Amino acid sequence: SVPSLAPIVKQAAPAVVNVSTYTIRAHRNPLLSSPFFRHFFQLPEDPAVTKRTQSAGSGVIVDAENGFVLTNHHVIQNADEVEITLQDGRRFKATILGSDKKVDLAVLQIPAENLTSIPLASDNAVQVGDFVLAIGSPFGLQQTVTSGIVSALGRNGLGVQGYEDFIQTDASINPGNSGGALIDLRGTLIGINSAILAPSGGNVGIGFAIPSEVAQSVMNQLILYGEVKRGGIGARFQDLTPELANAFELNRYQGALVNSVKVESSSERAGLKAGDLIIEANDRPVNSAADMANRIGLSPLGSVVALKVIRDGKPIQLEVTIEEIPIPEIAGDKLHPSLSGVRLQDLIHPDYESAVGCIIVDIDQGSPAAQQGLEIGDIIFGANQKRVHNIDELVYLTSREPLRSFNLRRGYQELSLYLR
């Protein structure tokens, strides 16, 4: 018989679905804003009209019994309604169980029976050179299959997501393929098609997929918590430059150099020290500080990361645990008597790794802080006309000069507060 990929496609295709999203937008004609116009033409008081816009992507059924569907975060973000169309034509309204922008994954659930799912490939099963198939619904077409090979593993630094650890493939991946399946010749899911690198939006033979092991970890957390709970190891890293390599007498120029280790952190308990050079994490090469940040960000809370470290020219093995990092906070009276009764916390935006200001999370009624006019939710981003990003900077500033004024943001307003 003639060699064909048809049996593999026939087995996997029913698990790949079309994802349609609807966004309800209020549209108002300027003429309808005129009370006279509305009265003259006897129009209703609320002249808003809603329009539904639709976008199409793909998804993969990964649990037939529970109706769990994996897709990209960017396919369903800002959607008011999500509809899934199966290969057999059935349509279902989907519930968004959780979504994570940093890895660009979302989990949907549909109330359907007789579903087909694709089994996830086991860890480290993928190798460069493996033949792969990409299945999806590009440009809203019913279903398209393309083939290629795995071109590279562990791709990052693309500026596409917060955490990047892509499988690169030359299988044609188009915009509507987002959320579709990348499968191997055993018919197992090795990745969720995600990013595209092209000068004009067309395909140039470079497509990217999120590995199934990453997708599995993120999916489990989204199903359990509706979000991904990330942690850290209490260390800071920097890229190894040739100058630093010479200074530390290292005979290599790639790795993540440990800049500092926090007291009583997971890193300190594991024995990690400033000046250590991390060259591997969980048997994967670490070439830069970004590589190390990816390994930590893609590891769930409580998991153990095995590190290969160069110290004093010799390799050593360490194991660090990803643990919850408490958000720094402080009582206001430690900063100034007029701030008594307030509690401040570092404000860490979901899209950033570090704090952008200090937010008031609690305030006692009638306290000196309340009498100053402060409110819960106020964000302090400056003190004594100097920019402050976090509580540490605020404490450092008050140790050097008396606190006289604050710059704070309240909603869309920026205010200056002078302490009495």
- Where does the pLDDT of residue 157 fall: very low under 50, low under 70, confident under 90, or very high at 90 and above? low
Residues 105 and 15 grouped into a single domain = yes
Are 103 and 16 in a shared domain?
Answer: yes
* Domain boundary, last residue among 53, 78, 109: 109
Alpha-helical runs (H) found in 202-265: 212-225, 242-247
The enclosing domain of 214 has a CATH number of 2.40.10.10
pLDDT at position 53 over 70: no
Dig out the tokens for 255 from the structure.
């790795």
pLDDT, residue 69, reads: 93
Residue 262 contacts residue 329 (beta carbons within 8 Å): no
Does pLDDT of 34 surpass 90? no
| Torsions phi, psi for 184 (to 5 deg) | -95, -175
Residue 352 and residue 309 share a domain: no
Q: Identify whether 46 is part of a domain.
A: yes
pLDDT for residue 121: 82
- For 315-343, write each residue's pLDDT tens digit: 899 889 888 877 788 888 888 888 888 89
Q: Can you say whether residue 349 is alpha, beta or left, with left for phi > 0 and alpha for psi between -120 and 50 degrees?
A: beta
Q: Is 310 in the same domain as 366? A: no
Q: Cβ–Cβ contacts within 10 Å for residue 64, how many?
A: 16
172 domain-assigned: yes
Domain shared by 176 and 245, yes or no = no
What integer pLDDT is reported at residue 110 of this predicted model? 92
- How much is the average pLDDT of 126-141? 78
pTM for the whole structure? 0.69
Specify whether 94 is located in the same domain as 178.
no
pLDDT attached to residue 225:
83
Is 117 within a domain? Answer: no
Mean pLDDT within 360-385? 88
Residue of 251, 259, 256, 253 whose CA lies nearest to 241 = 253
Start-to-end Cα distance in the chain:
89
Residue carrying structure tokens 């048809």: 6
| 316 and 397, same domain (yes or no) | no
**pLDDT average, residue stretch 261-289:** 84
Q: Which of 225, 260, 289 is the last residue of a domain?
A: 225
| Catalytic residue IDs | 74, 104, 178
Q: Please identify, among 202, 225, 248, the residue that sits at the C-terminal boundary of a domain.
A: 225
143 and 212 assigned to the same domain: yes
pLDDT at res. 70: 93
173 and 105, same domain (yes or no): no
Q: Which residues contact 41 (CB under 8 A, 6 or more apart)?
A: none
pLDDT tens track for 207-231: 888 888 888 888 888 998 888 777 8
Q: Does a structural domain hold residue 121?
A: no
Give the CATH number for residue 374: 2.30.42.10
Q: Is residue 161 part of a domain?
A: yes
- The residues facing 70 across adjacent strands are 60, 107
In terms of domains, do 20 and 105 share one? yes
Centre a 10 Å sphere on the Cβ of residue 126 and count the other Cβ atoms it contains. Answer: 22
Confidence of residue 10 (pLDDT cuts 50, 70, 90): confident
For residues 34 and 87, membership in a common domain is answered with yes
* Domain with 17 in it: 11-109
Averaged pLDDT, 362-384: 88
Least Cα distance to 52 among 19, 85, 17, 80 occurs for 80
220 and 269 together in one domain: no
Q: Does the pLDDT at position 412 exceed 60?
A: yes
The 3-state DSSP class for residue 180 equals: coil
420, 372 in Cβ contact below 8 A? Answer: yes
Q: How far apart are CA 165 and CA 161, in angstroms?
A: 10
In a domain, 409, yes or no: yes
Confirm whether 119 is domain-assigned: no
Q: Residue 31's pLDDT band (boundaries 50, 70, 90)?
A: low
* pLDDT single digits (tens) 385-408: 889 888 888 888 888 888 888 888
Lowest-confidence range among 119-123, 232-236, 365-369, 400-404?
A: 119-123
Q: Could you please report the per-residue DSSP string of 351-405?
A: T-SS--EEEEEEE-TTSHHHHTT--TT-EEEEETTEE--SHHHHHHHHHHS---E
- How many domains does one find in the chain? 4
Question: 2 lies in a domain?
Answer: no
